[in-house]
Amino acid sequence: MASLRLFLCFFLFTASSVNIVCSRSLQKDHIALFVFGDSVYDPGNNNYIDTIARANYYPYGETFFKYPTGRFSDGRLIPDFIAEYANLPLIPPYLQPGNHEFTTGVNFASAGAGALSETNQGFVRALAVIDLKTQLSYFKKVAKQLRQELGDAEAMAFLSKAVYLINIGSNDYVLPFISNSTVFQYFSKQQYVGMVIGNLTETIKEIHMEGGRKFGFRNFGSLGCIPLLKALVPGNTTGSCFEKVNELAKLHDAALTEALKEMEIKLEQFKYSMHHLNIYLSELTKNPGRFDVCTDFVLQGFKEVNKACCGSGPYRGISSCGGRTGVTEYELCSDPTQYFYFDSSHVSEKANKQIARLMWSGPPNITGPYNLKAFFQL
């Protein structure tokens, strides 16, 4: 029977008039990681679209990879570390040429993307992004391919066991303030946050319909404190944050938490982990050199938590790192491991590793009932 099945598979593969894919099986404990989001999670998808929102040039990638990969950091991102902790290979960008194997997962994230389709689209020249809706459409294509390869039942089991990391929304809140948008003349802060959360929750529900059950998030914490926004505060010599964005981030975090609690009740087997970034940042700000996040986590700190390693202007908050985005001159620190922020909007590899470690095995006050390690063991 096995020989006959192999022959039939070969025959159907070579017969151009027949479009049938022979199924294969995965081990029972096989697990995968699927990633959605923006530049915080983008491993290089934007390298393959017509956009200036790229990090495929020096000095990005210099710490770990020793060459630019498209990641907005000096090295690895949070999903890279989560994959390592889960004994998975680096999760590749969906748009990477030749990437047609999805049984360990795939990364759909795109720098500049928002939960709102309008965010960043056409904002400046060639600033195309892969918005959340498009990322979802890519995932559905992957799910369809997996069903063809594995069969409906095994594909559903595989997708149900997989873990889904999502980080998106920050661009929706930052862009209106750096683009002179009039959006808040038409919508209240609550209405605007409601639109972002609405798109995000609809995406989560669609992933759930395809089989997704275990979702990992991080809140935005003090989003208004990134160097990019500190540089926008007039006469800012004390490290003050951009409070209008912090207000939106606070509303977002509260609304997302409520939405996740509701989905946990209404959606079959839905589980989530929520990393509270504000707790980590609060401890870090109090004692940048060395800080206790909780009893089990004493993390080596940073010498600089306000100013970026790479950029120009106040707090190096002008997005000039690498000299490819309009401003050609920029400053670059000698040791990114001493900086929490690598560029005006993104943290260093060292900071990504610390955040990933807390998401992976942090206590309930950091992650909620589940940490990501528990998800990979369920």
Catalytic site residues? 39, 343, 346
| Angle at the Cα of 114 from the Cα atoms of 323 and 155, rounded to 5 degrees | 115
> What are residue 22's phi and psi, to 5 degrees?
-75, 135
Strand-pairing partners, residue 254, are none
Query: Strands 331-332 and 310-311: what pairing?
Result: antiparallel
Q: Give which of 79, 88, 69 is closest to 108, Cα–Cα.
A: 79
Which residue shows structure tokens 């707090």? 315
Which amino acid, 236? Answer: N
Tell me the CB-side half-sphere exposure of residue 34, using CA atoms within 13 A.
26
Q: For tokens 């609550």, what's the residue?
A: 190
Backbone φ and ψ for 98, nearest 5 degrees, come out as 80, 5
Contact between 270 and 264 (Cβ < 8 Å) = yes
Which two structure tokens, joined as six digits, stand for 374? 């528990």
Burial 90-124 (b: 16+ CB within 10 A, else e): bbbbbbbeeeeebebbbbbbbbbbbbbeebbeebe
Paired sense of beta strands 33-37 and 310-311, if any: unpaired
